[in-house]
Amino acid sequence: MAVDQLSGTLAALADPTRRAILERLTASDATLTEIAAPLPMSIPAVAKHLRVLERAGLITRGRAAQARPCRLAAGPLAEVSDWVARYRRYWDESFDRLDEHLRTLREDTDDDGQER
């Protein structure tokens, strides 16, 4: 995984408004006006957030129409998802070993009546 791209993705996601925009786009593609409607901020402010998301590759924007509808791009998010999956395996296996370690301690305690 390209670390720089992951960093860029995380940076773009580190804002609640931008996460809300992505959340909105999971339902359907939407224009700037549609995206801005429920948000408590100006259209230029929303447009700025869209530019950040577009630079991070998290959304694409249509070219044909004046409205330039936004669409969620899954690629960078899949990287984040992979990040989580890698760590899940790492820790699940570590905690299996922790479980074994604790069991060993318990057996020691049972043997001599004292914890080591």
Partner 1 sequence: MTDKSDSATGLGLTIQRTFDAPRERVFRAWADPEQLAAWWGPKDCRATLVEADVRAAGAWRTCIRHVADGTEYWCSGVYREVVPPDRLVLTFAWEEPPGSRGDESVITVTFADEHGKTRMTFHQAAFHSVEQRDEHVSGWDECFTDLAKYLSERRTRPNGG
Structure tokens at 76: 């960078």
Residue 73's nearest CA partner among 16, 14, 1, 13 is 13
Q: Nearest 5 degrees, angle CA 38-CA 47-CA 60?
A: 100
Q: Does 105 bind partner 1 (CB under 8 A)?
A: yes
Residue 78 makes contact with partner 1 by CB under 8 A: yes
- If one asks whether residue 89 binds partner 1 (CB under 8 A), the answer comes out as yes
Question: Is residue 28 a contact point for partner 1 (CB under 8 A)?
Answer: no
Residue 41 interacting with partner 1 (CB under 8 A): no
CA distance 110 to 72: 57
The set of residues, in sequence order, having a beta carbon less than 8 Å from that of 9 and lying 6+ positions away, is 56, 57, 58, 76, 77, 79, 80
Q: How far is the CB of 48 from partner 1 (least distance, A)?
A: 18
2, 7, 47, 62: residue in contact with partner 1 (rule CB under 8 A): 7
What is the contact surface with partner 1 in residues (CB under 8 A)?
3, 6-8, 10-11, 13-14, 16, 19-20, 22-23, 26, 72-75, 77-78, 80-81, 83-85, 87-103, 105-106, 115
